[in-house]
Chain A
Amino acid sequence: MDLTLQVWRQASRTAEGKFVTYEAKDISPDASFLEMLDVVNERLTERGEQPIHFEHDCREGICGSCGMMINGIAHGPAGGTATCQLHMRHFKHGDEIRVEPWRARAFPIIKDLMVDRSPLDMIIQAGGFISVNTGSAVEANTLLIPKAVQDRSMDAAACIQCGACVAQCPNGAAQLFTSAKVAHLGLLPQGQPERYERVVRMVEIMEEHFGSCTMYGECEAVCPKEISIDFIARMNRDYIAAKFKNRKSEANG
């Protein structure tokens, strides 16, 4: 199939960027979106031009590095898919495809389609962990966790930190990401001691960098791991509870 691409090209963080049109001819419908870009890049390199920079690593939908806006939708039109798992059969011969980087104040463009997502790491550093003295692994059956709780926690833990939720959200909010990370630990017994402290710390950093939630639901719709916005409600609940609890915490009152 033949396609016309309009790709955002920007040489560096501070350079002016612009859309450049490329013809992508003879693309296999079985190619992934990244493989299609590889083909385009190979031809660009042969012509002595700079290839289109984009981030990628696993190419199997688990590392979260490959996000881009494809025709105005994060990770493209397929839904529940990372860009690397999006196949060209979702497009038609002759289609025009516009490719843009994630756009958010928190995600400055490094080059072309590649952005710096480190504020997501900062949110994790603020509380996306449990504090334990690591020794040898604990015998697995000493802590029994109900199946339903495990499953729910696992649903949240599926987040690959790709940033599509932020990119798609009209408010540039990172609520889906943060709430998934809050819930993933907050649901499990190991996460209980720091549960309320964790949510407050993570939300504080989140609000420094990102927008606020108005329940558009756009994040959930594009999340490659189909994380539910119900986790956002859960995070709000824990945050509100944390603020009220801290007024007279168990330790102080």
Chain B
Amino acid sequence: MTAAAPATTNVRASWLLGFWHSAIGKKAVMAVTGIFLFVWIFLHMAGNLKVYIGPEHYNAYAGFLITMGAPLLPAKGALYAVRALLLIAVWLHIQAATQLTLMNRRARPVGYANRDYVSAGYAARTMRWGGVIIVLFVIYHLLHLTFGTVHPDFIEHDVYHNFVTGFQVWWVSAFYIVANLALGMHLYHGLWSMFNSLGLSHDRFNSWKRGFATVFALVVTLANISFPIAVLIGVLR
């Protein structure tokens, strides 16, 4: 057998593109964008917890998001910057997921007559469709509570009012709950899987990965579904 030619030690201007073209590179991009989305969703959840302190606090917090970064940035400056980053992250995440899914379909053109799963759990097997539910939900959610397009009684800047009247419609609440359970499952697998995608493995912390993913998926999901439930049972009104 001949020795490997040292081709890969050349400086390559297109290293980033080459990285993206490999499946492992795409998976790393999914992990990095996934972490960004997770951090964002965690802060989003934490911020929304203010709804339990009272309408003034909640509306003040919404006001803060608009003036965030002032006086350095104009009104909504930081908000739009974060939104732009989110859009890029979501785009890359979905693009990679789609391309890898197609690659995996090609790798097994003929399936088994009956196959058994030995270790893959429900969360792991629903990453793709779960992701689709999440995106549809995010679109609805933006039209509902951000832009008010599909909200029956939307008052600009009275975020608390929009929140409560929005969730008083039972099927809207039901959709929020289902979608956030899907998000919880996505995080349950994703927050565990991302360590491996990024090559983070060490005997010192490997036993913590499962617990880490479980705790954060649970916290985000429980807090998020508590909002529609609190409105439905009359705790928030």
Contacts and interface: CB of A to CB of B under 8 A. Distances in A.
Contact of B103 (A129, A201, A212, A236): A212
A239 B108 contact: no
A201 B112 contact: no
Contact of A72 (B6, B18, B112): B112
Contacts of A94: none
B199 A246 contact: no
Interface string B186-212: 000100110111111100001000000
B19 interface: yes
Given A170-B125, A212-B103, A197 B9 contact: yes
Contacts of B125: 170, 216
Interface in B8-25: 8-12, 15, 18-19, 22-25
Nearest to A167: B112
The CB with the most chain B CB atoms within 10 A, among A98, A216, A237, A251, is that of: A216
A217 B195 CA distance: 14
A197 to B, nearest CB: 5
A242 interface: yes
B164 to A, nearest CB: 40
A234 B199 contact: yes
A105 B10 contact: no
Contacts of B106: 105, 211
A247 B11 contact: yes
B112 A240 contact: no
Interface string A88-129: 000000000010100111100000000000000000010101
Contacts of A249: 9, 11
A237 B15 CA distance: 16
Given A211-B103, A214-B124, A243-B25, A170 B108 contact: yes
A33 interface: no
A246 B8 contact: yes
A211 to B, nearest CB: 3
A104 B107 CA distance: 6
B119 A197 contact: no
B51 interface: no
A218 B4 contact: no
Contacts of B111: 103
Given A72-B116, A218-B120, A236-B199, A243 B15 contact: yes
B119 A247 contact: no
Interface residues of B, number: 51
B95 to A, nearest CB: 14
Contacts of B195: 233
Contacts of B198: 236-237, 240
B234 interface: no
Contacts of B206: 230
Contacts of A247: 11-12, 15
A168 interface: yes
Interface string B104-134: 1011111111111111100011010000000
A131 B4 CA distance: 8
Given A218-B117, A230-B201, A252-B9, A103 B196 contact: no
A203 B27 CA distance: 13
Nearest to A73: B116
A103 B124 contact: no
A22 to B, nearest CB: 16
B227 to A, nearest CB: 31
B3 interface: yes
Contacts of B8: 196-197, 200-201, 242, 246
Given A198-B4, A221-B119, 8 more contacts: A98-B113, A212-B23, A216-B120, A217-B124, A233-B201, A237-B198, A240-B19, A246-B10
Interface of A: 8, 19, 69, 71-73, 79, 98, 100, 103-106, 125, 127, 129, 131, 168, 170-173, 194, 196-198, 200-201, 203-204, 207, 209-218, 220-222, 229-230, 232-244, 246-249, 251-252
15 contacts: A8-B113, A72-B114, A73-B115, A98-B113, A173-B104, A207-B103, A211-B106, A215-B197, A217-B119, A237-B201, A239-B199, A243-B18, A243-B25, A244-B15, A247-B15
Q: What 9 pairs between A and B have smallest CB-CB spacing?
A: A237-B199, A172-B107, A211-B107, A233-B201, A72-B116, A212-B23, A216-B120, A131-B3, A171-B104
